[in-house]
Amino acid sequence: MNVQAYLAFKGNCQEALKFYSEIFNAEIKNLQTYEDRKIDVPSNYRQKWQHAELKGKGIHIMAYDASPDTPINHGNQIHMSVDLSSESEAKQIFDQLSEGGQIHHNFREREWGYFGRCSDKFGIGWMVNCNK
């Protein structure tokens, strides 16, 4: 069994996955736009991403631009969790993800290791962990 995240965006999926690809050294794959789909979206939305995947070592996220009539709300119903073995790498990733976003829990030492929680500039919640 494999459970994975499928993120929805309000027209900025390309920008978000490019941002994540740089942080996690991953590639955008299986990219499909609305261009050739028989889906009722405005002509100015046809180049938006109907499906894409971010794949790399230890990461596989699927994402898309929800059609303009689909309500997308920034919320706290999902958080992406990143587990690392290097404190310095975990701190760097936390700093990159939180830049332009909001820090909810500063990245610092906890009972189990190092942890920080933030929402990135796209409204996606992230928890960054590093065990002792």
Domain ranges of the chain: 6-65, 79-131
Specify the pLDDT at position 78: 83
3-state helix, strand, coil in the chain (%, to 5): 20, 40, 40
Q: Which two tokens mark 26? A: 């991953």
Specify the pLDDT at position 74: 74
For residues 55-65, one letter each, b for 16 or more C-beta atoms within 10 angstroms of the residue's C-beta and e for the rest, the string is: eeeebebebbb
> What is the pTM for the complete model shown?
0.88
Architecture of domain 79-131: Roll (3.10)
Report which residue type is found at 115: F
In sequence order, the β-bridge partners of residue 36 are: none
Whether 37 contacts 50, CB under 8 Å: yes
CATH number attached to the domain at 6-65? 3.10.180.10
**Two domains, one topology: 6-65 and 79-131:** yes
The string of pLDDT tens digits covering residues 75-117 is 777 889 999 999 999 999 999 999 999 999 999 999 889 999 9
Grade residue 1 by pLDDT with cuts at 50, 70 and 90. Answer: low
Whether 98 contacts 115, CB under 8 Å: no
Quote the CA–CA distance of 109 and 132 in Å, as a whole number: 9
The secondary structure element, H or E, covering residue 107 is: strand 102-109
The string of pLDDT tens digits covering residues 35-83 is 988 888 889 999 999 999 999 999 999 999 998 888 888 777 788 999 9
